[in-house]
């Protein structure tokens, strides 16, 4: 293979972004998220039709929310889109079984129309005996909700937290992220990364993306020296 062909191959590989996998088999269960996983697994038997799933950014809320969608054959909607959606139609589409909806970032609603829409969706789900999963960064008691009826209903809903991932889980996530890209790395590289990175799934994904791109661009394996150089560059960029 000529140098030009190799460079073209690297550029082609860099042109395709890795798509995150959100299936149940891709979700790693650990003490930090076991309670939340148990809630999602028993979604059919919730005593209350609504559940609030909360945790810090990058803890796995979105992934677990998509696991819920897969189990319940549900529909996802972002909180910011609530006011512009035909919620009655969306719920009716799932009325053949137990209608299920996922609303992400429910704590970021900041306008009256969206609040009224979430209140309406809550009532639709209750009437249809469905399930509504809400993700947020904090429990509903901390949401800036102006509509009293909505606030009372959100605070009455059960809530379960996902704690930040521990070192063992972050290490397992890194291994899986690399494996998804068909990249094998030495355990020493994983240990080096875990000791120096932000402890979140988002940070793991970004780092693996960056390291994979750097290795492809430079035509070298992902080693501790490469990781050290990439981390130093990212640190300098943050300071700038």
Give the C-alpha separation, 21 to 8, whole Å.
27
Are 91 and 99 in contact, with CB atoms under 8 Å apart?
yes
Per-residue model confidence (pLDDT) at position 81? 85
What pTM was computed for the model?
0.77
Alpha helices in 97-163 (DSSP H): 112-127, 148-156
Q: Identify the structural domains of the chain with CATH numbers, from first to last.
A: 25-161 (3.40.50.300), 165-239 (1.10.8.60)
Give the C-alpha separation, 173 to 165, whole Å.
10
Identify the bridge partners of residue 102 per DSSP, sorted by sequence position: 76, 133
| 16 pLDDT higher than 80 | no
pLDDT digits (tens, 9 = 90+) for 176-234: 889 888 998 999 999 999 999 988 888 888 999 999 999 999 999 999 999 999 999 98
Q: Which residue did the predictor score with more confidence, 51 or 57?
A: 51
pLDDT digits (tens, 9 = 90+) for 75-99: 998 888 888 778 888 777 766 677 8
Most confident range, picked from 20-24, 52-56, 60-64: 52-56
Conformational region of residue 219, where left means phi above 0, alpha means psi within -120 to 50, and beta covers everything else: left
């Amino acid at each position: 293979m000529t140098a030009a062909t190799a460079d073209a191959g690297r550029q082609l590989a860099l042109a395709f972004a890795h798509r995150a996998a959100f299936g149940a088999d891709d979700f790693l269960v650990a003490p930090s998220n076991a309670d939340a996983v148990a809630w999602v697994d028993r979604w059919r038997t919730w005593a209350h039709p609504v559940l609030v799933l909360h945790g810090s950014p990058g803890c796995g809320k979105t992934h677990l929310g998509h696991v819920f969608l897969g189990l319940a054959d549900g529909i996802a909607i972002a909180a910011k889109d609530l006011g512009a959606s035909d919620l009655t139609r969306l719920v009716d589409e799932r009325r053949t079984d137990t209608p299920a909806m996922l609303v992400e970032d429910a704590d970021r609603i900041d306008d009256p129309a969206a609040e009224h829409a979430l209140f309406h969706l809550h009532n639709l789900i209750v009437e249809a005996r469905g399930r509504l999963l809400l993700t947020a960064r904090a429990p509903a008691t901390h949401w800036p909700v102006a509509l009293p009826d909505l606030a009372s209903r959100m605070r009455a809903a059960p809530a379960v937290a996902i704690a930040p991932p521990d070192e063992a889980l972050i290490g397992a996530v890194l291994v899986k992220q690399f494996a998804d890209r068909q990249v094998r790395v030495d355990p020493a590289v994983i240990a080096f990364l875990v000791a120096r990175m932000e402890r979140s799934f988002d940070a793991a994904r970004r780092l693996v993306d960056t390291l994979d791109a750097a290795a492809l661009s430079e035509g070298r394996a992902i080693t501790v020296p490469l990781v050290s150089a990439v981390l130093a560059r990212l640190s300098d960029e943050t300071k700038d």
